[in-house]
Chains A and B, each alone.
Chain A
Amino acid sequence: MNENLHDELGRTLRQRADSVSDAPISFEAVRGTAGRIRNRRRAMVAGAVLAVGAAIAVPTAVMSGFGEDRGSTPVVTDPTPTPGEDTTARTPQGLTIRGLEQGDAPGTAWLEGSELHVGSGTVDLDIREPRAVAVLDGAWVVTGVPASGGDAAVYVLDSGSREVLHQEATHHTRLVTNEARTAVAWMAQDGTPRVWQDGLAVPLDHPVSGSGSNHQALALTGERCDADAETVEGAGCTVFFTQEGPRGEVTNWTSSTHGIVDEWTGPFERLIDVSGNRVSAGFTELADDHTCSGVSGPDDASITWSTCDHQLAEFSPDGSLLLAHESYFDGLGPGTITVLDARTQEELLSRNNHESHAFISHAVWEDESHVLASVFQEGEWAVVRIGVDGSMELAVAPQKGEDLDAPFFLSAQP
């Protein structure tokens, strides 16, 4: 065999490929798979935001700066070791659940099966399939299906874990809270944005316009959602939400306590997140094999910066940092966690799964400088805490599980 290896390779591969017998896949089978993929994407989108946050959304981002007080920006430690520093204690640089120290439990509420963990306590929920949790001052909000069956609902529990109210909702609705954590919003089954604040006997329905499906709440801004802005100065809230048309086209909407519903006119194909100071993040391009996303200032029709290297995911609580993932991921979820400076786009931290093949069901900000991620690796799920300073530890120890059945659902800071 004195032939060029290139030619030999080509011939070998062609011969091998020719040995493959066709087993035609039917159009019906493909369409069925497409339906399952569509449902899974929606589920992942809903799970990714799961919790709280005026500025949460799936691939979301929030950004800060833009004229706000930069003095409030958290100090971000340079993860580069200083000379003489002991780096042996540093955790692996990749994304993994192996070899990590056990740290404190998540500083935010999280769901595990039918248990709601909050603080040092655990509450057994009489709800099936709890999927999202948000924390308000003095109340917890959870989505799930009634134990007796029926449609998905949003449950509001007081600090004694007693049910305050429950209301129907879309199966994969997100829960978004305002920055002050006084109110929560979600989408009702008919696409109505619904807002609840402590003291209300029933939630308030915000106005909606147009028809469509797969409505998703993205953000809730403002305070005193229960008050009429016409009579109380500074009162009123705005819900940002998306709606899909019959061909999958997305329309971004804002709906306010004042009774006004408007199509959001910002520069993004699909809005991802809106911060408390109304800085927005969204997709500039969304395809099956790549995405591009960017950031825009408050009420700004232009894009401040954009990237096709990362998919923006969520602003930090003060909006100064952005959680992001790789530009393209599918199926199991992202395998990279990146933190960007929301103003400068500078990459401050990145951990990927190139060595571990771990992946993330979702990740949220725990506080101004830590991210919590629900991570799957080699048949086990764990919650990992990743610090912007480069630290990494376990927040919830690994437990056996299926890759498509994440057991943890974390709430995030708004």
Chain B
Amino acid sequence: MELVDRYLHAVKFWLPRNQKDDIIAELSEDLRSQIEDKESELGHKLTDAEIEPILKRCGSPMAVAGRYLPQQSLIGPALFPIYSVIIRSLFLYFLVPWMLVWMGIAIFSPDFRADHPGAALFASLKPWWLACTYSLFFNTLAFALLDRSQMRSHVVNDWNPRSLPAVRDRNVISRGGTIFELTVVVATLATWIQLDAFRRTFHIFGTTLTLSSRWPFFFWALVVVSLAGIALTCLNLSNPRWTRFTASLRLGIDFYSFALFYWLFRSDMLQSLSASDVSFADASNFVRSFDHWMASSAIWVLIIGAIVVFFDVRRILRVGPTA
């Protein structure tokens, strides 16, 4: 019976203090009755190996004890859906993008890696870990307290079907937004062409700027993207609903635009600068600093582009093949 005693002792550990002895006495009596019945059936005293299946069938000590305890939860089923939405949003729209940005910088920025050598690279993630820990801790604490307070019934019971948000069709494109986009693209394109921006040399306030030989390619490529953007906005005006085709076109335009800007940012865009009151050395320093700043900012173009493309791909998946 040593095995039974060990089992009962283990169950006892998890039981509420004021019921321990009572519950164990009753459970002990049941187990011993089962064992006696089995012994009469087999005609001999049960061995530990024969007692073991009886105890295993009874359940693990913690599970058995758990059935005597009141059902408890940190955040009950009434509030858990809200908690879950908040935590998921926190991760999806804040912590995961933050991590992706950090990874992007760590992978693509040699300057960042040089400033944070070895373990310091991971130490630079400390604010992220702190944000994760604090946001999880305080959200969980707030919801656990809310679940135990009077406000819980206010949140759960005080609602009105009329105050529920209207059903929003996420595939509908707002006409106002489309008209605004069309206006911006047309105005930018018109200004772009008006300024003869395809030239490589510009004279501004007595300063002569010469841009990289890649500039004219960038200019014409941007014109093509803008025209595609105008075509897309016209399609969206005629049918203000995302379709697989228009959503794919949006993805293509965004991808192409960000790739184009990334390429420009890394192309030593400013080649030379000259002004009557600026020395050649100062002008060269300025050009070098400017191009270095552009090259190191390229990572942000990549990150923002990746986020935009992510949402574009999500839109295509949402629209589905039949839309």
Are these two chains actual partners, yes or no?
no
Residues of chain A touching chain B, judged by Cβ–Cβ distance below 8 Å, are none
